[in-house]
Structure 1
Amino acid sequence: MYYFRFITNIDKWIGKPGVNLTVTGDFHEVHLLCIMLNNNLCMTAPVYIMFVLCSDLQVEAPESVTEGQNVSLTCKSSCALTNRATFIWYRNSQPLTERRDRNNQLLLQSVRREDAGRYSCALHGHSYTSPPSAHLSVMYPPKHPFVAVTPCCQLVEGNSVNLSCNSDSYPPALNFSWFKGGTFVGSGRIYSISKISSNHSGEYKCKSITEHGEKYSDAVTLNVMCEYIIQHKMLKNNPALLL
C-alpha cells in the first residue's frame, strides 16, 4: 500500500491510500514536495504549480506621445510575482507578435501613428475575461495636404469657387493659410471666391498648421474664362446653335 504526503513551507498533508490537495489564496506560484511511502521505501518528487489567481494588473502609459519619440508602458500588479513571471502585451486585443517580456515594461522605439491604440497586458499562463488596458495616442504633424476645387471643371467669370484644404494629422489641424503665387490671401480650411474674375487666375496652395508642425500642399492652378470665350467655343463646336 502506498501513502502520499504533500509538504509545503507552511504545512503538510497526508492521506491513505492517496491525497488530493486543493490550495486557495492569493498565490501566484507554489512549490510542493510529494512524498510516497511504501513500507520502508521513501520516494520524493518536487511539484511546481502555477495558479491563475493574480488578476490585479494595471497598465501605465502616457496619454499621448509625439511621433518619433520613445515610450515605455508598464504592467503593474500588487501580487507578489517572481522572476519567472512572463508578461504578454496586446494592442487592440491582438497579441504583439512574439512579444513576451521577462520584465513588466514594453518599450516602443520611434513610435509611428500605427502604434496608437489600446494596450493591455497579461501574465503568461493566466486567463483574464477582460485584461486591463490603457489608450496611447500618437501625435503627428500634417501629412500630404491637398487642395480640392469646387466646382472642379470650367471656371467662368462671375461665378463662385471654393478651395478646401485637406490634410492628415493628429490632432486634426484647425489652422490653415492660403497663398496665391506666394502671397498670403486668406485663412480657414475653405477659401471662397465670389464673382470670380480673370484676376483670380493663378496658382493657389494651402498650409496646414498644428502645434506639432506645418506643411504646404502642392499648388493648383485656376484658369478663369470669360463668358464670351465659353459661348464662342460652344458656337464653334455647335453651328446649329446659330439657327
Structure 2
Amino acid sequence: MESLILIILVIMPGVWSGNWKVTYTDQCALKGTSAVIKCEYDYPFGHIVTSVAWSKALYFSGKWRQVYLTGLPSPPDHFKYVGNTWGDCSLRINDVQHNDEGHYFFHFATTLDRWRSKTSARLSVRELTTVVQPSTVTEGDKVSLTCVSGCPTPVNIVWFRDGQHVPNPVFQAGREDAGRYHCAVQGQEAASSASVALNVQYAPSNVTLLMSPSVVKGSSVTFTCSSDANPPVTQSGYRLYKDGHFISSGQNHTISDIQPSHSGLYYCQAWNNISRRGTSLINSTEVHLDVQYRPENITISMDPPYAVEGSSVNLTCHSAANPATDNYTWYRSTSSSSSSMVYVSSGQVLSLPSVEASHTGLYLCQARNTVGENNSTEWLLAMEEKTHGSWSLPIVAGIGVSLLLTLVLALLLLWLKQRTHAEKKQPVYDFRLSGRGSSSSASEDLSNRIYANIHVSPSSPPVIAVPDVTPHSQRKSRHGHDASSAYEDEVTYSTVTITPRNPHRTYNSRSAHDSRSKSGENDSSVIYASLA
C-alpha cells in the first residue's frame, strides 16, 4: 500500500512543486497542417485534477473574451486535447486554418480549487508560397523552384506539376515542363501552396499544311496552316509558298477556281519570333497539289494525210487529261446532215487496212478518264481515185516547175528587150558627104555617103578632129560666137572620123571652097556634119 502511494506521489508533479502555473510554447503552423501547442501545468500538494479545458480569446463588442473551444463552431476533432491530468496540457489542432490563429488559454480544476492561466499560447498560421524563377523562359533555359513557408520550423517540401510529382526543383526547361507548379509538406500533401504557372516559350514545331491533295479543275481549294508554338503563331506569322515562290500570308488561303497551272509543291512557313537551333522560320513538309481534269484539246490526225482506195489509213486520237485518258471510242457518220453517230471501234488508233467507199464519212473520237469525257471535232475521211491519187502529186509538181521556168524565161526576155532598147537610144552621129558637080550623078545615093562613127568618152572631154569645111568668113564669125558662148553652155566633145567615098581621091576643103566661090558654083562639095 505504501508503495502504491509512493508511485502516485512521484507521478504527480504538483505534489512536489506545490505551485499553480501553466507553461506554453508559441506555435507557427502551416495552413492545412496539424499543429500541436506544447503546454505544461502544475498545482499544489493534495490536489487531484478533475477537469481540463482550453479557451481562445475572441474580440466581441469592443472587448476580448475567452471562449471555450467546445463552444466554437468547428469540424469534429478539429481541437483535440492530447495532454493528461497530472502535468501535460498539450493541444492539437487539425487542418489549421487562418481563423485558428490567435491566443489560447488553459484551464483546469482540482478537487479543492480551479485555475486559469494568466498567460496564453500564441498560434500563428502561415501558408506555403511557391516561387518559380523565372516564370517565363525560352526552351532550354534554367528554372529554379522555391517554396516559402513563413514559419521558422524547417519542413520537408515536395513539388508537383499539374498533380505530377517533380523530382528536382532545379531543371533545364523544355516545352513539356510548362504547367502549374505547387509545393506541399511531405506527409501532409493536403497542405499545399497555391499553384504558379511556368511559361516555356518555343519556336513553331509540327508545322502542318492541310489541303485536299487531289482536286478537280474548277473546284475550290483551301490551304490551312497550323503549328505547335508558344506564343502561338499569329495570322501574319504564316506564309504559303508554291514551288519556292511566295503566294500569300495568313493561316488560310483559298483558290476558288482551281486550274492545272495551280498544280505543284506547296509548303507553309511559321514564325513567332522564337528561334530554334539558330532559325526562327520553320517550314512544313511539302504537299503536292494535283489538279485533275477531263480530256481536253482532243484532235484527230491521219496517216497518210490522204486516203486512196485499197490503201491503209490510221486515225489517231490525241488528248490532254489528268489522269491520262484511259478510254477512246470512235464514231462515224456517213451523212453530213445526220447528227447521229455510229460506233466504229475503241482504242486510241483506228486502223483501216483497206480503205473502201463505205469507210468515207465524218469521224469523231470520244476520250474518257476517271474525271469525265469529251469529244473531238469531226474529221472528214474522203477517198481519192487510185490513178488520180498516184499521179496527182507528180503532175502538180511538174506544172509548178513549168510555170516557174516560164516565168523566169519571160523575165529574162523582158530584161534583154529593155537592154536592147536602151542601146538603140544612145546618140549616133551620121555625117553625110554630098557632091553635086558634073562628076556626080543622081544615081549616086548611098555610095556617095560618108559615115562617121562617133565615140564619146565619159571621163574627160576629147579633142574633136573635124575637117574645116566651113568658109573662112564664116569661120571667123563662128569663132567669135563660139568663144563667147563657150562658158554659157556645156560642150560635148566627140571624136569624128570621116572616111571618103573614094579612098584615092582627096579633098582639099579650103581649095575647093575657093574655087567654087570663084566659079559661082553651088557649094555641092561641102561636107555637112550634123550632131545631135
Q: How does the TM-score come out when normalised to structure 1?
A: 0.69
Distance in 1 between residues matched to 2:310 and 2:238, nearest whole Å: 67
Judge conservation of contact 2:295–2:321 (CA < 8 Å) in 1.
yes
Superposed displacement of residue 185, structure 1: 0.7
Superposed displacement of residue 69, structure 1: 1.7
1:3 is matched with which residue? none
Judge conservation of contact 1:156–1:224 (CA < 8 Å) in 2.
yes
2:240 is matched with which residue? 89
Judge conservation of contact 2:233–2:270 (CA < 8 Å) in 1.
no
Residue 261 of structure 2: SS of its match in structure 1? helix
Higher helix content, 1 or 2: 2
Superposed displacement of residue 55, structure 1: 4.3
One-letter amino acid of the counterpart of residue 228, structure 2 = S
Q: Against the structure 1 CA distance between its residues 234 and 110, is the aligned structure 2 distance closer, same or farther, given a 3 Å change threshold? A: closer
Q: Against the structure 1 CA distance between its residues 147 and 24, is the aligned structure 2 distance closer, same or farther, given a 3 Å change threshold? A: farther
Note if 1:155 corresponds to 2:314.
Answer: no
1:33 is matched with which residue? none
Superposed displacement of residue 127, structure 1: 3.0
Superposed displacement of residue 134, structure 1: 0.8
Q: Against the structure 1 CA distance between its residues 234 and 122, is the aligned structure 2 distance closer, same or farther, given a 3 Å change threshold? A: closer
Q: Against the structure 1 CA distance between its residues 110 and 234, is the aligned structure 2 distance closer, same or farther, given a 3 Å change threshold? A: closer
Identity %: 22
| Number of residue equivalences | 194
Distance in 2 between residues matched to 1:134 and 1:80, nearest whole Å: 25
Distance in 2 between residues matched to 1:206 and 1:218, nearest whole Å: 8
Distance in 2 between residues matched to 1:141 and 1:227, nearest whole Å: 41
Superposed displacement of residue 74, structure 1: 2.2
Judge conservation of contact 1:198–1:225 (CA < 8 Å) in 2.
no
Superposed displacement of residue 177, structure 1: 0.9
2:281 is matched with which residue? 127
1:217 is matched with which residue? 376
Note if 1:67 corresponds to 2:217.
Answer: yes
2:6 is matched with which residue? none
Equivalent residue in structure 2 for 1:110, among 253, 257, 264: 257
> Cα deviations across residues 208-228 of structure 1 (Å, max 9, x unaligned)?
112322111111111212323
1:29 is matched with which residue? none
Residue 199 of structure 1: SS of its match in structure 2? helix
One-letter amino acid of the counterpart of residue 162, structure 1 = N
Distance in 2 between residues matched to 1:106 and 1:89, nearest whole Å: 8
Equivalent positions of 1:1-243 (< 5 A) are 9-10=135-136, 53-82=203-232, 84=234, 86-96=237-247, 99-101=248-250, 104-124=251-271, 126-128=280-282, 131-152=284-305, 154-181=306-333, 182-231=341-390, 233=392
Q: Between 181-190 and 196-205, report the one with greater CA deviation.
A: 196-205
Judge conservation of contact 1:208–1:214 (CA < 8 Å) in 2.
yes
Distance in 1 between residues matched to 2:354 and 2:246, nearest whole Å: 57
Residue 147 of structure 1: SS of its match in structure 2? strand
One-letter amino acid of the counterpart of residue 207, structure 1 = Q
Distance in 2 between residues matched to 1:233 and 1:217, nearest whole Å: 30
> Cα deviations across residues 84-140 of structure 1 (Å, max 9, x unaligned)?
3521001111111xx111xx2222212122211111010246335x65211111111
Superposed displacement of residue 53, structure 1: 3.5
> Cα deviations across residues 58-105 of structure 1 (Å, max 9, x unaligned)?
222222011222222222222234263521001111111xx111xx22
One-letter amino acid of the counterpart of residue 166, structure 1 = H
Distance in 1 between residues matched to 2:343 and 2:288, nearest whole Å: 40
2:181 is matched with which residue? none
Superposed displacement of residue 25, structure 1: 5.9
Distance in 2 between residues matched to 1:172 and 1:90, nearest whole Å: 27
Q: Against the structure 1 CA distance between its residues 149 and 52, is the aligned structure 2 distance closer, same or farther, given a 3 Å change threshold? A: farther
Distance in 2 between residues matched to 1:215 and 1:106, nearest whole Å: 32
Superposed displacement of residue 156, structure 1: 1.5
> Cα deviations across residues 125-166 of structure 1 (Å, max 9, x unaligned)?
6335x65211111111111211111112x3222211111111
Q: How does the TM-score come out when normalised to structure 2?
A: 0.33
Which ranges in structure 1 are unaligned for 5 or more consecutive residues? 1-6, 12-22, 27-50
Residue 203 of structure 2: SS of its match in structure 1? coil
> Cα deviations across residues 1-26 of structure 1 (Å, max 9, x unaligned)?
xxxxxx96448xxxxxxxxxxx9966
Higher strand content, 1 or 2: 1
Which ranges in structure 2 are unaligned for 5 or more consecutive residues? 1-132, 138-171, 176-200, 274-279, 334-340, 400-532
Residue 389 of structure 2: SS of its match in structure 1? helix
2:160 is matched with which residue? none
Judge conservation of contact 1:52–1:127 (CA < 8 Å) in 2.
no
1:14 is matched with which residue? none
Superposed displacement of residue 232, structure 1: 5.8
2:26 is matched with which residue? none
Q: Against the structure 1 CA distance between its residues 233 and 57, is the aligned structure 2 distance closer, same or farther, given a 3 Å change threshold? A: closer
One-letter amino acid of the counterpart of residue 89, structure 1 = L
